[in-house]
Amino acid sequence: MYPLLKINKKKILENTQAITQRANQLGVKITAITKCTGGNLEIAQAFLDGGATAIGDSRIKNLKNLAPLACEKWLIRVPMPSEVNHTVAYANLSLNSEIKTIRRLNEAAKAQGKSHGILYMLDLGDLREGLFIGDGNLATPEVETLISASFKKLDQDLQEILSMEQIELRGIATNATCVGATIPTPHTFGAFFKVEKMIKEKYKQSCEIISGGNSSAYYLIDNKTLPSEINNLRLGDVILFGRESAYYHSYDYLHQDAFILDVEILELQNKPTYPIGEIGRNAFGEIPNFTDKGIRQRAICGLGRQDTDTDHIFPLLSGLTIEGSSSDHLVIDVTDAAISYEVGDIISLRCDYAGALHAATSAYLETIVVVDN
């Protein structure tokens, strides 16, 4: 059945091996993130076989799928208060920033007879989750006042967390390049390391895990400028797609084509390239722009924006151009293709992060794991 998403386990294994080897040389362990695969068990095992030391996901449902794996599992999205019981049941460790939720995790762990590890999340400026502490560089007086209040709250939170019977504070974590698009550099971790030092000196506790971010921080491993204090990164994008997410640099030692989306041609006709009539808004309320290229051969395929982000899929063969999409249809110009197409033929598309993320979680696509090149 089509559309068909093919995830190449061999390429992901090789990417994982290449990345963990470089990370291990700097004393950094990798938590591999499965959310772009919908928590696929086979791909998670490939991560582990390739050298990842833990598996992480943002969704409890995916962690349930990964329960058979004999490894440490992380919930990398701050838990919702309503899911603390499932968090304790399916994750060994979770990232946290709210003391109210940590209290609930403690109670849930007590009820289940377990201990639960946490990393305290700190926001260095990306402005997503985490207690806001800035990056340690100069800030406005207003921001400095907020940072001062945050450190007071942090002190209170740490005192309470360390007194909890079922919660184990295993370290600290931060994130970047997700909401605020801030790029981590060797100079943006000043406040982060200040917290690590505070925990060690004031509370006489070492941070087992100092998790310095996601795939946007991988370039610091590649160029060997990652601060030595950091001993963990949470990586999905760069392993799966061979590209770091700070500057979108692709590495020649990594595969970029582990996710291939096959779509079937359901109509193939010659048509004008400029709509006939007054142009208004499309199905998504957008006012599109068109260029008149004359009469072209257009393949309409059975895939749409309900299935994936069609701005993030790319034809493998040269001469093909995606011209547009609606909820259920993808229009590809095949005029300049080196081969002739017919109705029922398959066109293969490479997915990047956004394309794969949506495709892997669509109920209307079939997903298979392949092992060949």
User: What is the tens place of the pLDDT at every residue in 76-93?
Assistant: 999 999 999 999 999 999
Q: Does residue 189 register a pLDDT over 80?
A: yes
Percent of the chain at pLDDT above 70? 100
Backbone angles phi, psi at 131, to 5 degrees: -65, 125
pLDDT for 251: 99
pLDDT for 373: 65
* Secondary element (H or E) of residue 98: none
Show the DSSP H helices in the chain as ranges.
9-25, 41-49, 60-65, 84-90, 99-112, 141-163, 190-203, 218-222, 237-241, 353-360
Q: How far apart are CA 211 and CA 230, in angstroms?
A: 6
Give the Å distances, CA to CA, from 193 to 78, 178, 187, 213: 21, 21, 11, 13
Q: Kindly state the average pLDDT of the residues 55-73.
A: 98
pLDDT for 372: 80
pLDDT for 328: 98
pLDDT for 175: 96
pLDDT for 358: 97
Active site residues: 35
Q: Kindly state the average pLDDT of the residues 328-357.
A: 98
Q: For helices 141-163 and 99-112, what crossing angle results, to 10°?
A: 20
Tell me if 158 sits within 8 A of 199, measured CB to CB: yes
| 150-187 pLDDT per residue, tens | 999 999 999 999 999 999 999 999 999 999 999 999 99
Would you list the domain boundaries of the chain? 9-241, 259-370
Topology at the third CATH level for domain 9-241? TIM Barrel (3.20.20)
User: CA angle 131-135-138, nearest 5°?
Assistant: 120
Radius of gyration of the chain (CA): 23
Task: Report which residue type is found at 130.
Answer: G
Q: How far apart are CA 46 and CA 255, in angstroms?
A: 15
Cα first-last separation, the chain:
21
pLDDT for 117: 99
Q: Does residue 351 register a pLDDT over 80?
A: yes
* CA-wise closest residue to 30 among 55, 67, 66, 63: 55
Q: Kindly state the average pLDDT of the residues 246-262.
A: 98
* Average pLDDT for the chain: 97
Q: Kindly state the average pLDDT of the residues 199-216.
A: 98
Tell me if 168 sits within 8 A of 117, measured CB to CB: yes
Q: For helices 9-25 and 41-49, what crossing angle results, to 10°?
A: 40
Annotate 310-333 with three-state secondary structure. HHHEEECCCCCEEEEECCCCEEEE
